Structure 1
Amino acid sequence: METKPTRRGRPPKAESQETRERLLAAALELFAAQGFAATTVRQIAQAVGIRDSAIYGHFEGKQAILDVLMDRAGPGVLGQAGFDAASMVRMPPREALPMLFGRIVDHWTDTDVRKFTSMLLRDSADGAGEAIDAVAGRLAPLFEAWQAEGYFVGQFDAAWLAWEAIAPLATIRLTLMGSHASPADLDRAKNMAERHVAHFLAVHLKSGVPS
């Protein structure tokens, strides 16, 4: 029986996806170890064992790789934590916020996410600040809806409440949840996050509103 020759061309989809994930993993390791700016496309390719040019079949460039990692471990954390504004707005903040922020902190304990945290610390505070602002911006409409329901005291606008809720959590992440964090560091981070959420609700919730 004659054997048909192997057809040349693009690799199978599964193989392409596997290579893409290997590139992301290699880039994350390098970004965490030496920073985004110091990492080259060639280094990423060498870590995976492919030619430099082969990367461009998966990503437009180094920035595109960072964008995917950012979506998974940066502002995209709300999606990773199962954030759904439509369902959360029907819950009181005393119930919704500990649940959401608990999921976020759990996500931040993931090994790859902690590598990304180390990259943020290594490169600059600007990236971390932009990530906080992006998450706060997505949370603001939820806080606005809760304000309309009369849950919060009125002297702060929704955008500020959202920022005040998430920013201290981000500080906990950056100080205690990097790639070299110990189990004790992670336990402390979770405890501090829980205390922050409890304090935030105690300060900003109106007394007498349904819990």
Structure 2
Amino acid sequence: MSLWIPAGITAAVLLAFGAIIGRQNRDLLRAQAYGEFAARLVPLAIAGILVLWLPVIVNMARPDRAVPVMLVYMAMTVILVSLAARSVAAEERKAGNAYRKGDYERAVEIYRELVQRKPLPRYYCALGASLDATGDHLGAVEATSQAIKQDPEFGLAYYNRASSRAALGQRNPAMEDLRAVLRADSSRKLKQAALRALESLEKNEPLDGST
């Protein structure tokens, strides 16, 4: 079977992943951070180019060396793509890892540095979530409000601000933010979480926290 067929299928799969990545980073497009958006597609673009070149490379090799050449080429592709992926938003990944590990103070520190260098709505939103986790609810409201000011369609920022406002006892503003989540650019999962949070506030129950 020609190598062009699996190469074409792989390229199609990479395009599908590219569409998913694009959907997950629409906030960067709204913020006109085109360079940041493009950087997140670079690893997939590299993989696509290398995969499409695979049949050419294998055909250039001697028949008895075709399989070893293919394996080496694929290994190099994986290494190059991995290196490219790790170089994209390295500080953002560090902050996210710190948050997931419960090291909220470290997450706050990194996100503060990020918003100073690149004042993007997503970084203000994440800073707000980290501040909220440390108990600084006022600081969290300020950070998420900045994210919303820059990107009024950022559903996650409304959700995180709702969590902080609820913690401050601002029930009605928190409910307004949760309703805004339903109108804004939000994932299905986030909208479901907002609906559950609205129900909890209507029953005067505490929210689960920011996400």
Q: Which has the higher contact order (CA 8 A, sep 6+)?
A: 1
Superposition TM-score tier, normalisation by shorter sequence: under 0.3
TM-score (norm 2): 0.26
TM-score (norm 1): 0.26
Which structure has the highest helix share of the two? 2
